[in-house]
Amino acid sequence: MPSFPMPRGPIPRVLRTTSFRLAAIYVVIFVLSAMVLGAAVFWAARSALKQQMGARIETEMAFLREEFRVGGVDRLIAVVQSRGKGASALDYLIQDSRGVHLAGELPRVAALEPGWTMIDVPEASEDGGRPEQVQALTADLGGGLLLAVGDDFGRTSEVEEAIATAFLWTVGLAVLLGIGGGVLLSRAFLRRVDAIANTAEAIIGGDLTRRVPLRGSGDDLDRLAGTLNRMLDRIDVLMESLRQVSSDIAHDLRTPLSRLCQRLEDARMHATSMSDYRDAVDGAIAESEQLLDTFAALLRIAQVEGAAPSKTFAEIDLSALAETVADAYGPDAEEAGRALIAKVAPGIVIRGDRELLTQAIANLVENTLRHTPPGTRIELLLSDDPAAGACLCIQDDGPGVDPDDLPRLTQRFYRGEHSRTTPGNGLGLSLVAAVADLHRATLLIENRHPGLKVSLRFAQAREALT
Amino acid sequence: MKVLIVEDDSETAAYIARGLHEHGHVTDHMRDGKDGLIAAMDATYDVLVVDRMLPGLDGLGLVRALRGAGVRSPVLFLTALRGVGDRIDGLEAGGDDYLIKPFAFAELLARLNALARRPPLSAAPTIFRIADLQVDVLKRAVTRNGERVEMQPREFGLLEFLIRNADRVVTRTMLLEGVWDFHFDPKTNIVETHISRLRAKLSRNGLLPELIHTVRGHGYILRLPDA
C-alpha cells in the first residue's frame, strides 16, 4: 500500500491530537485545584502548630512564675538551668532590669518588652543550619526582672516544609501520569484515526471497495466508522447506478440510433416522391420519440435510485391507488381478451410517493398484459397482514418465466428471449425495483405454475385510522 | 391570447412563439428570470410559459415572487428533466401546470388554452350542457336526450374533464393526469379504450350523434356534433 506523506510540524503528531489536548487541560486543572487545596492544608497546619506552641509556652510561664513566687530569683535560675536541652525543649532567658543576662540559652536582648516577641539566635546550631528564630513570651516578674520563654520557630518551618515537599511530589507525579496517560491515549486514538484516514486515502486512490475496519466495541469511534461505511456503501450504489446508466446508454441506445440513421440515409438515396420523404420523416420522428422515451425512463430510474425518500413522501391510500390502476387498465385488459380482477383490502395507508407507486403498479399490470396470451386471468391483490405489512401482488395463470431469467428480470434492458419481439424497452421492472427500494419494500418475482406472481411487500404499512 | 414566454433557450422559445403565432396568438419573450418577472408584473398576459432553469432568477423564484405580489396569471412550467418531486415543487410555488421537454407543440397549445380560459372558481357552473347532453357535477347525474345515462365513477370523471374543457382540445396526457392522476406515459391504450366506451354509452352505441371527437395527432374534443 502506498504511504502518503503527512505534513510534519515542529510539534509531534501525538501532542497535537484532541485526546492529548484534553489530557493536558485536565492536568492543568488538576494542578491548579491541588495547589489551592495544598495552600489551605498548609495554612491550617501552620496555625494549629502555632497555637499548640503558644499554649505550651504559656503553661511553662505560669509554672515558672509560681517557682519564682515561692523561691525567688535563685530558685528560678536553678529551675531554668535544670531544664533539659533536648530537641523539643523550650528556650529560656532571665534578664535583670539593667539588661544583664542572668540565665538561659537565649542571648541578651537590649530592649526586651513584656508580651510576644521574636528573638534571633545568631550562632548556628551544631548541624550548621541557618540562624534560628525563637518565638518567645516575655513577662515582667517585678522589679525589672524579665523572664522570656520561647520555642524554636524552625520546628514549625520543618513541618511546613514536609507538607510542601509531599505536596510537590504529589503534583509532580500527577503531572507525569497525566502527560504519560495523555500520550498513551492519544497514540491509541491516533491509530484508529489513521485507520480511517488510510481507508479514505485508499478510496481516493481508486480502491472503492475499501471500508473502515470495525473493532466491534460499539464505542463512539466504532459507530462513526460504521456510519462512514454505510455512507460509502450508499455512494457506491449511486456510483454503480450512474456507471450502469452510462454503459446502458452506450450499449443499448446505439442500435436504435443507427437504425434511425440508416432509415434517413435510405430515404435520401431512394426516396423519389414527397410521400416517400414524408413516410421517412414520420418514421424518423417515431423512432426518435421512442429513443427519447427510453432516455426518460433511464433517467427516471437513476433519479429514483438517487432520491431521498423523505422529500416527496406523504401518507397515501394504497388501496385507492390500486383501485385506480385496476380501474384504468380493466377495460384495456378486457379488449385484449384478458380478465383483470382486483381484490383490494380497503383503507391501507402507507408513507410513499404517489406518482412513483402509481407508475410501479401500472408497470406491473402492463407487463402482465404484454407477456401473457389472451384468455389469461390477471389478479391484482392488496392485502394487509399486521405482522408482515401490506402486500401488493399481481399474479396471472399464464406461461410464467424461464427460471434462468428470473434473477435478471429487474436488470435494465433485460428482456427474456421469447419477449424480444414484443414492444417495450426492458426498463419497466427496473423502475419497479428502484421504486420498491425507495419505499424499503421487497420485490419478489416467482413462478407459481402456472403463471407468474410479482409481489411488493411494504414493511411499514399500517391500517388507516378512519 | 397574449402569452409571455420566459425561456433562456432561444430555439425552444422561437419554436413556441412560431407555433403560437400560427394559431393567432401574441407572444413576448424574455431570456432572463428577472426581466421575466418585471414583464409578468404587468399582469396583462393571459398565460405565462416559464422555464424552470433560468439565468438571474429561476422559474420557481419568479412564480413565487409573482404570486407574492398578487399577480394571478396562470403559469405553465417547462422543464428539461423531471426529477422526483419536481412537479409538486412547481405546483406548490404557484404554478398551474407542468410540461416536460421535449414536448409536442399540440400538447403545449392544448394546455395553454385550458389554462387561459379557466374560469374563476367562484363562478364555476355546476351544470354543463352541450347539445342534448347535460352533466350535473354536483349530483353526478348525466342525461342524454332527456334520458338518464348510468355512469361508473371513473367514466363520470372522464366526462366531467371533457365537458369542463368543452370546445377545447384535451390531449391524452391531460386526461391521464386530470382523470387518473397518472403522471407517466402508459404503454397501452387506456385512454383510447375508456374514450371509446364512454362514446358508446353516450351515443347509445351509435344511435345518437357523436359528441366526443378525435383530433388526429392532438387529442379529443367535446363539442356539437358535426352538421
What CATH number is associated with residue B68? 3.40.50.2300
Asked whether B154 and A327 are in contact (CB, 8 A), the reply is yes
Tell me, what CATH number does B150's domain have?
A: 1.10.10.10
Q: Hey, are the CB atoms on B182 and A369 less than 8 Å from each other?
A: no
pLDDT at position A150 is: 85
Q: Hey, are the CB atoms on B84 and A424 less than 8 Å from each other?
A: no
Residues B8 and B87 in one domain: yes
Question: Across-strand partners of B129?
Answer: B134
Residue where a domain terminates, one of B66, B88, B116:
B116
Q: Hey, are the CB atoms on A312 and B194 less than 8 Å from each other?
A: no
B209 pLDDT higher than 60 = yes
Chain B: residue whose CA lies nearest to A424: B187
Task: Tell me the chain B residues in contact with residue A324 when contact means C-beta distances shorter than 8 Å.
Answer: 154, 180-181
B218 within some domain: yes
B227 within some domain: no
Which of B75, B71, B69 has the alpha carbon at shortest distance from B99? B75
pTM, whole model, 2 decimals?
0.62
pLDDT at position B170 is: 92
- The boundaries of the domain holding residue B76 are 2-116
Residues B95 and B131 in one domain: no
Question: Could you give the C-alpha distances from A387 to A300, A390, A391, A466, in angstroms and in order?
Answer: 33, 9, 11, 20
Residues B107 and B132 in one domain: no
Residues B108 and B167 in one domain: no
B78 within some domain: yes
Signed CA dihedral, A46, A51, A52, A54: sign only: positive
B99 within some domain: yes
User: What ipTM did this prediction achieve?
Assistant: 0.79
B152 within some domain: yes
Length of chain B: 227
pLDDT at position B74 is: 92
Q: What is the mean pLDDT of residues B166-185?
A: 88
pLDDT at position B75 is: 93
**How close, in Å, is residue B154 to chain A by CA atoms?**
8
**How close, in Å, is residue A321 to chain B by CA atoms?**
10
Residue where a domain terminates, one of B116, B136, B170:
B116
Residues B132 and B51 in one domain: no
pLDDT at position A88 is: 66
Residues B145 and B92 in one domain: no
B95 within some domain: yes
pLDDT at position A84 is: 64
Q: Hey, are the CB atoms on B85 and A359 less than 8 Å from each other?
A: no
User: Does residue A366 belong to the interface with chain B, where contact is any CB pair within 8 Å?
Assistant: yes
- A292, A303, A358: residue with CB nearest B84: A303
**How close, in Å, is residue A14 to chain B by CA atoms?**
48
Residues B112 and B157 in one domain: no
- For A119, the enclosing helix (H) or strand (E) is strand A115-121
Q: Hey, are the CB atoms on B182 and A359 less than 8 Å from each other?
A: yes
Residues B147 and B98 in one domain: no
Categorize the per-residue pLDDT at B108 as very low, low, confident or very high, splitting at 50, 70 and 90: very high
Residue where a domain terminates, one of B116, B132, B162:
B116
Number of Cβ pairs < 8 A linking chain A and chain B: 64
B157 within some domain: yes
pLDDT at position A10 is: 63
Count of domains observed in chain B: 2
B168 pLDDT higher than 70 = yes
Return averaged pLDDT per consecutive 10 residues of chain A, 466 residues in all.
52 76 84 86 86 88 87 85 72 83 80 81 57 80 83 74 84 86 84 88 87 84 89 86 76 81 88 88 86 81 78 85 91 89 89 88 89 89 83 88 77 62 70 87 86 85 41
pLDDT at position A464 is: 39
Interface test with A, best of B99, B184, B192 (most A CBs within 10 A): B184
pLDDT in tens, B128-159: 888 888 898 888 889 988 889 998 888 899 99
Residues B97 and B16 in one domain: yes
- For A391, the enclosing helix (H) or strand (E) is strand A389-396
Residues B10 and B103 in one domain: yes
B101 pLDDT higher than 50 = yes
Task: Tell me the chain B residues in contact with residue A299 when contact means C-beta distances shorter than 8 Å.
Answer: 81
pLDDT at position B61 is: 93
- B84, B186, B197: residue with CB nearest A362: B186
Residues B25 and B106 in one domain: yes
pLDDT at position A462 is: 47
Chain A: residue whose CA lies nearest to B197: A331
- Give the whole-angstrom CA distance, residue A77 versus residue A151: 18
B50 pLDDT higher than 90 = yes
Residues B110 and B18 in one domain: yes
